[in-house]
Amino acid sequence: MYETEIRHLSGELLESGDVEGIVGYAPGPLPLSAQPFLFRTSSELQNLIFNSFCGMNLARYLVALPKSAGRVAIVAKGCDARAITVLLKERQVEREKLFIIGVPCLGMLDRKRLSARFGELREGDIEFRGEKLIVRGEPVALLEFLDWTCARCRYPRPPLFDVLVGEGTREPLTGGTDGLLRLWELSAEKRWEFFSLELSRCIRCYACRNACPMCYCRECFVELQRPLFAHPAPSLKDNLVFHLGRAMHLGGRCVECGACERACPLGIPVALLTCALSEVVREHFAFEAGVSLEAEPPLLVYREDDPDAFIR
């Protein structure tokens, strides 16, 4: 899916000296996995891939590039391009230093769920035919194996790009907020039961935070000791402060890519928190992060008729 186009375009960009490198995906050490990679030579480009296991948000690597670095191209799915837009708006990257290779995305697959059903999978076991998912020759329900953030994605087509390598796009598969809606339908006790269980499993490795392009603070609030907001040792009470604090810091900034949840080694559904706030922002402040370079971030503006009913 667009792999050849991306490779071809990247080759041209490198050869013309337009960019110093391409931020993209290379094959990971495990079958059907991808590893973020900075391609600097045409021979390295032989390894460039793009498939439905390229779940890491590459925009995360842009802020880490040294100031002295030259122009880079970046392979950007819809959510990656949204993240780049947020970073541009927050002036963490310069537009002139980026060449955005926009890639329309059909969604990322959950390798664990696939292996649980089909056993160890190899290259060639999985393919997309149009919008159908075929596993070892049999069509399967795409919805069952897509990451839930991808199933509800509204921006498979990058809203910002220099070149778009294809035109394929699709509507959200789950009516927008399915996974979140189901949670909202539960009672408060049931929701707390679910979240207290999941968040108590967190061991504070910060994979979620570090995978997020928007978490670029040099010193995160959890690293502070004076004042101490969340003690470094894992415990539900401190894990709550970390995850709630992080969700608040992403309020109006989260692009719902799901990289945080994919990064979690324990499979804790952390994207639920950040995406829940994205939905609140969408519904009440009519704002979606990373969709427009002009729109003002929701927490930097206000309206006279903002929600007020929760205030006595």
Q: According to CB under 8 A, which residues from 239 to 278 bind other proteins?
A: 240-241, 244-245, 247-248, 251-252, 259, 262-269, 272-273, 276-277
Residues 6+ apart with CB under 8 A from 68: none
Between residues 157 and 253, which has the closer beta carbon with respect to other proteins? 253
CB-hemisphere CA count at 13 Å for 111? 17
Strand order in the sheet with 132-135: 126-129, 132-135, 138-140
The answer to whether residues 104 and 158 touch, using CB atoms and an 8 Å cutoff, is yes
- Stretch of 78-86, 127-135, 156-164, 220-228 contacting other proteins, by CB under 8 A: 220-228
Binding of other proteins by 229 (CB under 8 A)? yes
**Residue of the chain from 18, 131, 171, 306 that contacts other proteins (CB under 8 A):** 306
Binding of other proteins by 292 (CB under 8 A)? no
The C-alpha atoms of residue 243 and residue 304 are separated, in whole angstroms, by: 30
First to last CA, the chain: 54
- Stretch of 88-96, 98-106, 162-170, 231-239 contacting other proteins, by CB under 8 A: 231-239
Binding of other proteins by 302 (CB under 8 A)? yes
Binding of other proteins by 198 (CB under 8 A)? yes
The C-alpha atoms of residue 4 and residue 248 are separated, in whole angstroms, by: 40
Binding of other proteins by 190 (CB under 8 A)? yes
Between residues 81 and 151, which has the closer beta carbon with respect to other proteins? 151
Between residues 16 and 225, which has the closer beta carbon with respect to other proteins? 225
| In the complex, least distance from residue 306 CB atom to other proteins, rounded to whole angstroms | 5
| In the complex, least distance from residue 17 CB atom to other proteins, rounded to whole angstroms | 20
Strand order in the sheet with 163-164: 34-39, 21-27, 72-76, 98-102, 163-164
| In the complex, least distance from residue 208 CB atom to other proteins, rounded to whole angstroms | 8
Nearest by Cα to 48 from 6, 106, 105, 13:
6
The answer to whether residues 244 and 273 touch, using CB atoms and an 8 Å cutoff, is yes
What does residue 73 show for φ and ψ, rounded to 5 degrees?
A: -95, 150
| In the complex, least distance from residue 239 CB atom to other proteins, rounded to whole angstroms | 9
**Residue of the chain from 96, 130, 227, 294 that contacts other proteins (CB under 8 A):** 227
Binding of other proteins by 69 (CB under 8 A)? no
**Residue of the chain from 134, 135, 163, 280 that contacts other proteins (CB under 8 A):** 280
Binding of other proteins by 200 (CB under 8 A)? yes
The amino acid at 207: A
Tokens of 90: 């927050």
| In the complex, least distance from residue 169 CB atom to other proteins, rounded to whole angstroms | 25
Binding of other proteins by 104 (CB under 8 A)? no
CA dist list (Å): 256 to 61, 151, 196, 251: 17, 11, 22, 11
| In the complex, least distance from residue 221 CB atom to other proteins, rounded to whole angstroms | 6
Binding of other proteins by 172 (CB under 8 A)? no
Nearest by Cα to 176 from 149, 157, 195:
149
DSSP state of 109: B
| Residues 30-59 contacting other proteins, CB under 8 A | 30-31, 33-38, 56
Binding of other proteins by 64 (CB under 8 A)? yes
Q: Give the distance, in angstroms, between the CA of residue 252 and the centroid of all CA atoms in the same chain.
A: 15
Binding of other proteins by 203 (CB under 8 A)? yes
DSSP state of 136: T
Binding of other proteins by 119 (CB under 8 A)? no
